[in-house]
Structure formats: C-alpha cells, structure tokens
Structure 1
Amino acid sequence: MARKQRLTTSQRKDHRKKENEYIEDLNNKIENYDPKTAKTTFFKDLPISNATLKGLSEAAFLKLTDIQRESIPVSLKGYDVLGSAKTGSGKTLAFLIPVLEKLYRERWTEFDGLGALIISPTRELAMQIYEVLIKIGSHTSFSAGLVIGGKDVKFELERISRINILIGTPGRILQHLDQAVGLNTSNLQMLVLDEADRCLDMGFKKTLDAIVGNLPPSRQTLLFSATQSQSLADLARLSLTDYKSVGTMDKANEKSDAEAATPATLEQSYIEVELADKLDVLFSFIKTHLKAKMIVFLSSSKQVHFVYETFRKLQPGISLMHLHGRQKQKARTETLDKFSRAQQVCLFATDVVARGIDFPSVDWVIQLDCPEDADTYIHRVGRSARYGKKGKSLIMLTPTEKDAFLKRLSARKILPNQLTIKQSKKKSIKPQLQSLLFKDPELKYLGQKAFISYIRSIYVQKDKDVFKFDELPTEEFATSLGLPGAPKIKIRGMSTINRAKELKNAPRQLLSLKKANEDGDIVKDNSKQVRTKIDKMFERKNQTVLSEHYLNVTKSQANEDEDEDFITVKRKDHELVEDELPALTLPSSRRAQKKALSKKASLSTKGNASKVVFDDDGEAHPVYELEGEEEFQKKGSAESQKHDFLNKEAEVMATVDSKDKQVAKEKRQEKKRKRLEAMRREMEAALEEDESDEETRNVAYLGEPNLSEDMEDDFEDEPRKKAKSVNYIRDQRKETAHDIIEVEEPETLEDLESLTARLIQN
C-alpha cells in the first residue's frame, strides 16, 4: 500500500484556512436557519458537516423524524433543550448529531479532554447509544468511550483520560470522576440526559447531584425522554434557566387537544383477569402465539426468574429468554443480542429494558403486572411499533386495578380495547407447577421469593387507588404459583424501603465499604466469600426456604457433632466464689481494652518473643548473638580474621565444587550407558528380524557396498556408529561360525551318549 504523502507547510496552511472558512460558513448557516420557514425533510437539508452527513448516510439514516426536525436546529444554536416525544421517534439521533457538530465547530482534539457527557439510566440503553454513535461518527476524529457497571474498572481507568465523548450510567461515571486521575471535566461543552425523568428521580438523585457538582455551569444541557418532567426544582439542579421546550405538551392544553403519547400504529388492548389466573392466561397466550416475537414485563427480577425457570420446564414450544438487573453484565449483553436477532421468541424482563431499547420487529408487548404509573406503561409499550411499524400490546389488570388505572391512561389520551378470553383456549398449569415445586426445593424457594417480591411491590406503590394491598388474595396467588401455602412476609417501614431504593442504584464499590469503627479500622468485608448453593439454602432458615423435615435433619446432625467432641465438660454444677478469683480490671478506653485482650497487641510493648538455640551444655542463646570486644581482639586483628574466614570459605567452596563436578560426571556417564544399552537392544532386535527373513528377501545394511557413497555422506554420526556396530556383530558371528556343531535331534539314549562324547572331544 502506498504511503500517504506528507503535506508541506504551505499546504497545511491552505488546508487549515479552508477548514476555518468552512466552519465559519457552517456557523452562519446555523444562525440564519429558521425551522419554521424551512421545509426540512432529509438530514442533508440541515446545516451540519459533511463528515456527519456521510456517517448518517452509511448508517441508512436519511429522513428526519418530527422530534429531530424540531430539536436539532435549536440544539445547534447552543440553547438548552428539554425534549419529549413518542417512543421510537428517533430521540437518540436528536442529541448525538448536536454533540458531534458542537465538538467539530469547536475544533475539538484529543488533547482538549472530555467534551461531551451522555448519561443513561440503564446499561442496555447506554450500550445502544454507544453503538449508534460509532456508526454515525465513523468519519470524525473524536474518541468515544462507554463506561457501565459489570465491566473492568482498571481497563476503563487507563483509557478514560483520552476520551472526548463519554457515555455511561450514573454510578460508574461518578466512580470515575472520583478515581480517574486524567478525567478533567472543567472544559465540558455538553451534558446529555437520555430518559431524563428516570435520571432525575429519587433512585439517581444523589448520584446525579454529585456528577453535576463536578461539571462547569457554562455547559449546554440536553434532556430527552418520552415522558418528560418539567419540575422547576429538577431543572434548577441541572442549571437549566433559559431553555427551549421541544415536543413537550403544554399543561394548559393537555386536557383538551393533547395527542396521545403512544404511536398511532400501536394496537393496544387489555383483559380483566384475577391475580391467581395470570400465569394460566400467560401460558395459554404463549401457546397460541408460537410464531410471534414478544416481551413479557413483570414487576421484579425474582418473578422473572421464577416464571422463566418454570415455563422452561413446561416447554410451551417457543424459545424463552429472561433479562433483569441482577444478572451478570455478560449474560445481559448476550441476551440482548440473541433477542434482537431472533424472530420467534419470548423474553421475560423487568423495566430494565422498558426505556429506549430498540428491539427490531417486536410483535407483542405483554404486561403481566400492572405498571406503577402511566409513564411506565408508555415506555413499556414503546418497545413495539417503532419508527412507524405496526405492533400490539396487552396488559392484564385485576378487578381492583382496572377502573383506576384505565382512568390514568385515559388522562393521557390512551384508550386500550378490552379483550375477552376464550375458555376453550385457556389451559390451567397449576397442577404442573405444584408438581415441579414439590420435586425441586430450589424451585420452591424461587416461588416463595417471587410471591414475597410481588406482595412487597404492591405495598410500596404510591398510587393506592390502583394498588390495594389489603384486598390481595394471597392464598389464591400462592396456590397459582404452585406453593402449598402463602409464606410469611415481614413488611418493613417505608423509610427502610426508600433507603433500599437509593442503595439499589448506588455504586457497588461504595456499598462494599463498611463504616469505620472508632479506631479508624475498616471492618473486613466477607461478602465475597465463596458459598455453594447448598450453603445458601441452609442459611435461609428464617425465610421458610426448607421444610420442617430438612430443618430437623440439620438440627440432629448438629447434635451428633456435639456428642462426638473429643473433649467434653464433665462437671457442670461447680460454683465459683468471687472472693477467690483474682480481680480483673480492664482499662477505660476501648483501644486500651483491645490492646490488653489481644495477645499480639500486648507483645508489641513487652517485647516480641525471639527464637533461641541451645548449646551442648543445654543453655539457650539467641540465634544471632554478638561477641564481646575483648574476645574478638584475642583472636587477632580484624584484617587477619577476615583473611582466615575467606580462606576457610574458599576451601569449603572448593570441596563442594569438586563433589558437584563428580556428581555431574556420574550423571553423564549413567545417561550415556543407558543410551548405549538402548541402542544395543535395538540392534539385536534388528539382527534377529534380519536372520528370520534372510531367506525370503534381500536386506541392505548401512556401510555395505550395495549403498552409494553419497547416501553414506548424508548420515549423521550416530547412524554411522550404529552401522559399524551392526557390521562388527555380523563379523564376530562369522568368525565363530566354524565352532558350531550341527547335529540332528537325538531320539534314543544311544544318540545322547554319542553326542556327549563328541562334545567332550571338542
């Protein structure tokens, strides 16, 4: 491949001048661009650079959507944007294009550091944003990075200082802001929050506040979501004072002519079903839609795990997958990739994939559990009917949830159609579930955890008109899961639950650190200790994991272990008189108490025990004992003692060296002897085979005249030795051939006497 020709100084100046003129012309076009008068249909009609246009064209992005047509010109002019649009309307390009254009017009290089920060509430959405950025920014010179939980932190720390556009989740971004030495945000140009309403809620409140505190206030901020929060307090936290609302609905007109937040191509429906019949209806629905691609949303990860494991054993006839936040990042990524490429599959998932994820050609979105609000409903159904394609959604509502939740949807101009269940198509799986849970204790435990997680999710919901905790049919619901009875549930206070929500979204590295004690010592964290499944099962006694039979077995084993102790207490009824005991007083301070009770700490002041050696008289001496000065002088001067010591050590080394040489010589001779012995056995075997076949075939040996001299020259030294030894053995046998006496086999006693006489004469 030909080398690229280097530009001269004048050529570089001309190139730089042309680029400056192009950027200046681009800025003028942006200032003069009016989205109201300009009829823009394609990306090429926008005032954006050629590199971005080329990347969009190669990625098959040609036509603008409504949110892109309205928001991109405003973002290019430098305004803060509060954008809201329907799901699947192309909000990702609406903020990625302004990011690339902003850095290009600012002539951003790798030496300028971090220029844009994009925050996403979930790992899957952050990965999707990164993939789109790589596609459309393939012709730009900016470096992009993705930082999410579940990845190698050290790998990210080594490279994050060279990143221009950083995409990640709040917890991991905050961790790098605290730890990464080369990550400098003082020159940040743009901050983007995708699914901003989720980023601004209580789960990420403290994390996001800590991130914003490290960013300069002079940045440009873009907020995008399908359901946008316009709380003044939330916007003030992000330093949004003069911003433009794009695509958001005016609250004054929301009740009159507001448009539904879901796509028109989405066919929405609902069914009224009892809580105890939900799994039966879901299994029957899957059995009747085996050639469809569907997502089933549940309220908790434990429910997802239980439904996936049980349905996988029942084998409905379609590929099953599951995805929730408690999985490892590698498993989550593989599941996303497989589901995106599959055509006939059912995915059980939590709300971790309810926002922003672009799954191609999803036919059905099934909501087994009622979402917490209308916004969550909009995000869930938005996984289908994306970019103008058709799709269907179905939500299962209990009689206590139906009326109140339908009112919430009608307030957002969402009117789903009611469907009825054909009893002929409905199949009950309660007997199969009971049989599965009876045979598998671990599956029974999953069912108990699924039951508890659902009941708690109803208890913590804010909308008490929809979620009525007191009216839950717990016994019937437990029976529908295959459980023999409803497990006992310990409901915690709301403060504890809110605390758990905050900890759920906190960085794991911060959670792993425990509080320091008063002395400043860190408590050791044993959470990473390896435990087997059996260990975990026996540790869950307080959660009714094991039946009474298993608990009795463990108790009896514990008693047997105690009876088999080698040393036991024989006398237990003796009394201790306090006056006879020595008085023990501990110091007042905790540090002094710890030092007094610790053997290791007490030795630090009393002197550490040292190792001693005993002489011939039995007296103990330290291992390293200093000699007195007078005794040293009696032995002579220091120089003479040094000379004597060196001579003595030289003699010892010479003796040891000679022994080592002798041992090495013996090893070489033994090795040579074994090699010659092996060669001798091989040659004897070859000669025996040659003599047996001598009458039937001609054999040529090395060194005989029937082989050419050229072939003899090609042989190495070892084959030559072998050939000579073979010829030597043959010559010896020829010399002794005349001494051999050939006789017939004696048959009578007279023949034996004659043979004996002949042998004596020879």
Structure 2
Amino acid sequence: MSRKGKKPLVKRKSEKEARRSHDAEELALLETRISGVTPDNLKTFDDLPISKQTALGLKRSHFTTLTEIQKRSIPAALQGRDVLGAAKTGSGKTLAFLIPMLECLYRNRWTQYDGLGALIISPTRELAIQIFDVLRKIGREHSFSAGLVIGGKDVKVEQDRISRLNILVGTPGRILQHMDQAAGFDTGNIKLIILDEADRILDMGFRKTLDAIIEHLPKQRQTLLFSATQTKSVADLARLSLSPTKSEYISAHESADTSTPKNLQQYYVLTPLPEKLDTLFSFLKTHLKAKILVFVSSSKQVRFMFETFKTLHPGIPLMHIHGRQKQAARIDVTERFSESKYACLFCTDVVARGLDFPAVDWVIQVDAPEDADTYIHRVGRTARFDAAGRALLFLTPSEETEMLSRLESKKVPIEKITIKETKKRSIRSDLQALCFKNPEIKYLGQKAFVSYCKSIFIQKDREVFKFDELPTEEFAESLGLPGAPRIKFISARRANQLKNAVKKEDSSDESESDQEDKSRAKQEPAVRTKYDRMFERQNQNVLSAHYQNLINEEPAKLQSANDDEEDFMAVKRRDHALYDNEDDAGLEAKTDDTYFDPNAPVSKRQLKAALSKKSMLKYKPNSSKLVFDDEGKPHAIYEFQNEEDFHQQGAPEEQKAEFVLKESDKMQDEDVLDKQVAKSKRQEKRRRRKEREFAEQDEDDSGSDEQESQDDELRQQTQSKRARKWFEVDTESMAKQKRAKTQNVVEVAQPKTLEDLEALSMRLLSANH
C-alpha cells in the first residue's frame, strides 16, 4: 500500500523509464538532423536542429531570423568542429556561440552534479555582462546553472558558488584567480571553451593569463573563437590546441567590398592637435539631439573632457566611462546610456568591443586608433543589425597619409569633410579660466596632457604616430594650461641619448693603449689615503675663495706702485655687496676682471640661501598684484592709458564733459534705485509699527488690572532700590521696629486680689523666657 496522494512505486519507475526513452529518441533524432544540416537551407531559428528548450527561449526573446555568421557557424559548431568566426560588428556573433554551447551541454545530458561544462572568456567586464544577459534570456528553459565572474565583485561570494556552476562567463584575470584559489573549482570536465573578441584576448595584454588558463583545461575539448577581426596566426592556434587544418575558419563577409557595415557612413576631418577640443565642442553644440560616443586614448583625457565640458554646458547630457572606474559606476553608466535617447558618452577602448548600445547615431574618434582593427571595432558601436549610423575620425596632418593607407588596406571606405568656420567655437579662453579658478581642473589637464603624450610615445606604428612632431606647447595651451608640464619619460629618454652619445665620442677618441690602461686600472684599484679623500671633498674650498681674493699676488691683479698711500688698505671683494646700487656693482665687475670669476666654487651656505624663499626675497622686485579678466589674461590693478591714445579719442574737455555726463546718468539711476529702496523700508517700518500698536492695544484691553498691579509693584521695587536721602524717613523700617516692640507687650486687666498678682507675675516670667 502506498500513502494517500502519492503514486505507487512501480508506476513512478515506469514513468521515469518512459521519459528516459523519450529523451533518448529525441536526442537520436536531433543527432540525425545535425549530421545532415547545411547552411543553404537555413533562414530562421526554427530551421536549426536544436532542442525545444533552446528554440522556446529564442522565441520568447524575439529572435527569429538568422544572420549570415549564424547560418554558417552554428551548423559547424553543432557538429563538434572548432570554429574561428569572423564577421562585421553588430552581425549577431553572440548567438552564434551561445546556441551551440547550450546544445552541447544538452546533448551530453549535463546536470548540476557534472560540474563546469562550458567556459566563456571576454576581454572586458561590460562585454561579459552583456553575454551573460543574453545567455539568461535564451537559456531560461534549460536547467543549467550559469555564473558571471568579473573584477570589482566580492571574490569570496564567487568562490562559494563557483563549484555549483555549469556555465561560467568571465574575464581572464578573474577566471585565473578562481582557478588558483577556489578549492572546489574543477575544470577537468569542460567540454567547450569560447573566446569572444578572440584577437584581443590572444594579444600581448592577455598572453600570459590565457596560457595559464589553458594549462588547467583538458586537451579534448571544443573551441570557438569569434571576433570582427579574426586571427589566423599558427602560433595563436597552437596555443589553443587548434589544428590549422582541422579547425574551420568562417568569415561571413570575406568577399564583401567593405569590412564595415554598409549602412555606416564614415568621415574624417583634418584638424591640428591644439584644435581638437574646439572642434569637438562645436560638433556637440550642433548635434544636441543625437546619441554620441566619443573615443579618446586614455582615462585621464576622459576625466578632463567630462569635467570641463560639464562646466561649459554644451546642451546635451554628458557621461563618462573608463577602466579606472569602480564596477558599480561602470554598470550604472552603461545602463543609463543605453536607456538615453540623446546623450554623449566619453570613453576609452574599454567599450570599443562587442558592446551593444541601442540607436547610437555618431561615433567620434578624437584620438586616432592604434590600428585599423581598433578603428573597425570602434565604429561598430553604431549601424548595428542593419541600422544606419555615422562615424567621424579626427586626424592630425602628420597622421593623415599613413592612417588612410592602413584603413584602405582593411577595406574601410572613408571620406574627407571640412567644418565650416562659422560653426566653429573656440573654448581655449574658457578652459584657461577654469584651470585658473579650479586647481582640480588644472591637475586633470596636466594628467591628460601627459597621458596623451605617453599614448603616442608607446605606439608601435611609428609611421603614423610621430612623437617628435607633437606641438606640445600649443597642445598644453589648448587645454588651458599655462605651459607644457614636464614629462618624466621624455627627460629620461633624452638623458640616455646624451649619455650614449658621450660614450660613443669618448670611445672613438680614445686609443687602444688608453683603453688598456683604463681596463687595468679597473682591475687593480689604486690605494687611496686620507689626504686623497680630504682633497676630494666637495666643500674643501668654502673659505679658500675669499682668502685667495685677499692675498692674490698675480702681477695682473696687484695694485700699481704709483697708487696713493690712501689706497693701501683698500680691498675689493667679489662676494660682498659693497655697492649701494646693484647696477654700479655690475659695471665694476665688468670693467675690472680681477674681481669677477664665474667659475669660482659656491659654498653650501650660498646654495642653501639660494633654495630658501625667505633669503631670496631681497633679490626679487617688489610684488605687484594682478587682476585676471574673463579670458584669464593678467592685468595690473591700475592701468594707465598712453598719451597718444588719449589724444586720439578727442579733446580733453570733450572727454571730460562726456565722462561727467555718463557718471551723472549713473548717479541718477542709482539715486532712483536708492529712493525706491528707502521708500520700501519706510513702508515696512510703518507696517510693523502699526502691527505692534494693535497688539499692545489688545493686551491693554484684556489685562489692564493686572498691568496696573504689576506697575505698582515695579514702582515700589524701584523706590526701594533707590538710595534714600538724609531728609527722607524710612517708613518700612520704623513699622518693623514698632511691630517688634509690640510683640513683647502683654496686655492684662488691673489686678485686684493677691491671686491676680501671682498670675500676672507668672505670665511676665513666661513672656521673658
């Protein structure tokens, strides 16, 4: 007998067996369909040989029509082959690897007890989040567990859950960290590994990390690589255990005329480096109802542009994102920009790959990309899924020829446009005023200047990016800075060049014998005595210069014998200020070579005085206060006009009369305003006085008796406190004395008998006691 409400054990076993046999039949039928599928017969997702769960998830996510890369790559991936997929940006590469991944786990009957079965690696956090969101949509009908591991999240929380995952999406650094630290993270059963934006992950930046990850993975696995600019390097394929002959390279648009979407209009404008910010601000002012992405080369430039443009108010919502932001802020900015209709997002290449921002109108590249592939990924943020879009590239005169040739070799059609001078607006003076008023803006400008110079300095393509031709002073002025900041790596580079040049000159001038002597001296160091060390001291001649100037007996410096005896004790010292006028001292030093020696050693006391601001104040001129105008230019507080300019404006009497007339008009206007203010003050004062009188009248009517009693008490208190004069009698003190006397008086009747007398005496005795 079974419990009430439950099926018998035999019936439940039969149902499980029936379900298993049905699943096995479906899998066998699915395998048959997969083996015979060809890309030619595929148009929609219903035509794919996929499971019901995946098909239902695609339908509920409103995915219906297959793109070119999906038609050609999904059948090959379903058949278990390694795929290298290359397609234009916005062509649906994410579904091209997510669908085969879900089908691979489904056909292997993967459960939560089998551990990790698929690994998806993304180069950026934002792209990993986007892939995970798409996976959740199309895989909602499956029972697989999926997780996202990226930087900026709590590592301990991820470590507790990572052992129960079937699908893992993450960035290379965080995945490797869990492989090394998480105890329950087992990668021995992985069936599929996917690299999105594979060319970026296989690049030098992730080389060591990716090699370490691959060491943890099993050799027998399926590998899918997708990107808009795919790699064919044999070395890269060998690192991933891929065979160049067995792996299938699928390029959806290899025979196309362009490597960018057809609906993308691409332009470039020739602008010098100091005019880039002016051109960008003018562009934003004329495109207020647009959704714009602005790419620059460094995060410091992103911060500087965002803070300055936010203050200048171009009229469009501004946002910024870069790799140095916290993860929560980056996610928030990504969501806000995706939901915005009109906005401008300043960003670095952290959002250049894979991210899908809806309805982006313009992609502006203020700084040129490092290569043509980066350009293709940047402009791919617009014109996605057959939508229209436009891109604009800023090129300096030194970058134009070489960059255009590289874009042409990658089949990138681009046209040159010119900006109307009437549409341009210079913000240089505004930036100078901001840098002067706000030290933080100035600091950001200095960092932006240094980071841009460094980004040009480290570029691999020296033919495009010519560091030596940068107009650093003009560029610093365009950022609002008073001068070009010092760049450490440039100074070190120049010092090394000079050092190497000096070494080459010395080595060419030296003979072989000198070189042998030097080598022998290095091998056999000479014995140094204490006298050698004494004469090698840096401060040994602190007082010797003064002494030599006093006792120098060279003929050219001795006084003539015919001089008067009065000049016998005259001593001229170079290092003492013996002149009332500094100009006279300089003249004497120039005319008399005896007492001027520019190569004389300097004492430590003089060096210390030179480094002290307080000591050097006496050599500085009097300080003058400056006033800065709206453009940030300094002016003296009182500036006098030249006499010629004054006479050119007219006769003095006419100017005087005009000045008096203007000042009288100003005074009349000010007088009218002052009268209005005084009138309003009088009215307010009268109103307050009437309110106070009405309030006092109401209080008098209600409590007149109480007020009178209070007045009497107050009058008595004042009288008591007042000093009594000699002719006034103190009535209160006299009354007190009288009362004290009357208290001891006993009033009795006239005694008549002896008993009355005894009673009276007893009363008196008791009263006295």
TM range, normalised to the smaller chain?
0.5 to 0.7
Give the CA deviation at 1:28.
0.9
Contact 2:253 2:259 in 1 (8 A): no
- Which of 297, 317, 336 aligns to 1:299? It is 297
Instruction: From the CA coordinates, give the structure whose radius of gyration is larger.
Output: 2
Find the aligned partners of 2:378 and 2:12 in 1 and give their Cα distance.
Answer: 58
Show the counterpart of 1:659: none
Show the counterpart of 2:184: 182
SS at match of 1:269: strand
- Which of 349, 352, 375 aligns to 1:351? It is 349
Contact 2:88 2:253 in 1 (8 A): no
- Which of 163, 167, 170 aligns to 1:168? It is 170
Show the counterpart of 1:46: 48
SS at match of 1:335: helix
- 2:27 maps to 1:29: no
Find the aligned partners of 2:171 and 2:612 in 1 and give their Cα distance.
Answer: 47
Find the aligned partners of 2:117 and 2:259 in 1 and give their Cα distance.
Answer: 33
Give the CA deviation at 1:258.
4.8
- Which of 67, 84, 87 aligns to 1:85? It is 87
Show the counterpart of 1:519: none
Show the counterpart of 1:200: 202
Contact 2:69 2:252 in 1 (8 A): no
SS at match of 2:169: strand
SS at match of 2:398: helix
CA 1:275–1:239 in structure 2 vs 1: closer, same or farther (change >3 Å)? same
Give the CA deviation at 1:467.
0.8
Find the aligned partners of 1:33 and 1:144 in 2 and give their Cα distance.
Answer: 29
**Counterpart AA for 2:20:** R
Give the CA deviation at 1:555.
8.7
Show the counterpart of 1:229: 231
Find the aligned partners of 2:101 and 2:182 in 1 and give their Cα distance.
Answer: 23
Show the counterpart of 1:378: 376
Find the aligned partners of 2:204 and 2:408 in 1 and give their Cα distance.
Answer: 27
Show the counterpart of 1:143: 145
**TM-score, reference length from structure 1:** 0.63
Contact 1:228 1:248 in 2 (8 A): no
Give the CA deviation at 1:453.
0.7
Find the aligned partners of 1:258 and 1:145 in 2 and give their Cα distance.
Answer: 37
Between the two proteins, what is the percent identity of the paired residues?
A: 60
Contact 2:282 2:424 in 1 (8 A): yes
Give the CA deviation at 1:34.
2.0
Find the aligned partners of 1:407 and 1:555 in 2 and give their Cα distance.
Answer: 57
Number of residue pairs matched? Answer: 505
**Counterpart AA for 1:244:** E
SS at match of 2:421: coil
How is 1:330-729 mapped onto 2 (pairs within 5 angstroms)? 330-491=328-489
**Counterpart AA for 2:100:** P
Give the CA deviation at 1:226.
0.2
Q: Deviations over 1:645-667 (max 9, x none)?
A: xxxxxxxxxxxxxxxxxxxxxxx
Contact 2:68 2:252 in 1 (8 A): no
SS at match of 1:156: helix
SS at match of 1:399: coil
**Counterpart AA for 2:193:** L
**Counterpart AA for 2:204:** M
- Which of 109, 113, 119 aligns to 1:111? It is 113
Show the counterpart of 1:729: none
Give the CA deviation at 1:5.
7.5
Give the CA deviation at 1:413.
1.6
Moved runs in structure 1, 4+ residues, more than 6 A?
Answer: 3-7, 554-557
Find the aligned partners of 1:235 and 1:260 in 2 and give their Cα distance.
Answer: 26
Find the aligned partners of 1:181 and 1:5 in 2 and give their Cα distance.
Answer: 41
- Which of 207, 215, 218 aligns to 1:216? It is 218
Contact 1:147 1:156 in 2 (8 A): yes
CA 1:248–1:464 in structure 2 vs 1: closer, same or farther (change >3 Å)? farther
SS at match of 2:231: coil
Find the aligned partners of 1:4 and 1:432 in 2 and give their Cα distance.
Answer: 81
Find the aligned partners of 1:79 and 1:210 in 2 and give their Cα distance.
Answer: 24
**Counterpart AA for 2:34:** I
Q: Deviations over 1:503-524 (max 9, x none)?
A: xxxxxxxxxxxxxxxxxxxxxx
SS at match of 1:491: helix
Give the CA deviation at 1:488.
1.2
Contact 2:72 2:252 in 1 (8 A): no
Give the CA deviation at 1:259.
2.9
**Counterpart AA for 1:389:** A
Q: Deviations over 1:369-397 (max 9, x none)?
A: 00000100000000000000011110010
Contact 2:306 2:320 in 1 (8 A): yes
Contact 1:114 1:185 in 2 (8 A): yes
Contact 1:84 1:246 in 2 (8 A): yes
Show the counterpart of 1:239: 241
Give the CA deviation at 1:288.
0.6
CA 1:443–1:178 in structure 2 vs 1: closer, same or farther (change >3 Å)? same
**TM-score, reference length from structure 2:** 0.63
Runs of 5+ in structure 1 lacking a partner?
251-256, 495-551, 558-748, 758-762
Q: Deviations over 1:593-638 (max 9, x none)?
A: xxxxxxxxxxxxxxxxxxxxxxxxxxxxxxxxxxxxxxxxxxxxxx
Show the counterpart of 1:17: 21
- 2:153 maps to 1:155: no
**Counterpart AA for 1:81:** V
CA 1:465–1:147 in structure 2 vs 1: closer, same or farther (change >3 Å)? same
Show the counterpart of 1:55: 57
Find the aligned partners of 1:45 and 1:5 in 2 and give their Cα distance.
Answer: 41
Find the aligned partners of 1:486 and 1:194 in 2 and give their Cα distance.
Answer: 41
Find the aligned partners of 1:240 and 1:371 in 2 and give their Cα distance.
Answer: 30
Find the aligned partners of 1:383 and 1:390 in 2 and give their Cα distance.
Answer: 11
CA 1:167–1:483 in structure 2 vs 1: closer, same or farther (change >3 Å)? same
SS at match of 2:110: coil
Give the CA deviation at 1:249.
6.9
Contact 1:83 1:247 in 2 (8 A): yes
Find the aligned partners of 1:58 and 1:419 in 2 and give their Cα distance.
Answer: 45
